[in-house]
Amino acid sequence: MVASNGDISSFLKSHGLTGTAIRKQVLSHLWGDGVALTQKEIEEKLPPATDRVTLYRTLRLFTEKGVVHKIVLDGETQKFKIAGRFRKSDHAHFYCTKCHKLLCMPQLDVDLTDLPEGFQFSSARLVVEGICDACSGKK
């Protein structure tokens, strides 16, 4: 729990959501830069009695309201991450295979000038995997 209860409550309110117990708990676990968890990972951090449907609905609601982003790592793994300052999850992400943090990388751009003639771009999703700066020992 990195953020205070007040932080989380006002964060929820600012997104038009009421601050219920499970919502605060889920958010508190997702709080922090680069933290990205699967539904299962979140479930394991919650009290054992937590209903999986409620968690499912909470995450669906969060995603709908833009509170979190769903990011697909490898086709099997879906991670949830607090949306932060970006409205869409359209920008690139970097996934560190060591510390499992997922970082936004809006500076990584796809060169769409190479798109063949006649192709109309609408959206792009890019996930880069590797080792992040903290884990590579440098810096």
Partner DNA sequence: CTTCTTTTTGCAACATGGTTGCATTTTAAT
Partner DNA sequence: ATTAAAATGCAACCATGTTGCAAAAAGAAG
- Cα distance from N-terminal residue to C-terminal residue, the chain: 27
| DSSP code at position 41 | H
Q: Is 104 annotated as a binding residue?
A: no
- Residues 6 or more apart whose CB falls under 8 angstroms from that of 104 comprise 84, 86, 91, 92, 93, 94
Tally of CB atoms within 10 A around 104 = 20
**132 binds its own copies per the rule CB under 8 A:** yes
29-68 footprint of DNA as x/- string (CB under 7 A): ----------xx--------xxxxxx-xxx-x--------
For residues 103 and 49, what is the distance between their CA atoms, to the nearest angstrom?
31
Q: How far is the CB of 135 from its own copies (least distance, A)?
A: 9
Which of 1, 10, 15, 21: binder of DNA (CB under 7 A)? 21
How far apart are alpha carbons 51 and 66 in whole angstroms?
Answer: 23
Binding site feature residues: 96, 99, 132, 135
**Which residues would be at the binding site for its own copies (CB under 8 A)?**
70-72, 74-75, 78, 92, 94, 97, 105, 107-112, 114-134, 136, 138-139
Give me the residues that bind DNA (CB under 7 A), please.
17-23, 39-40, 49-54, 56-58, 60, 78
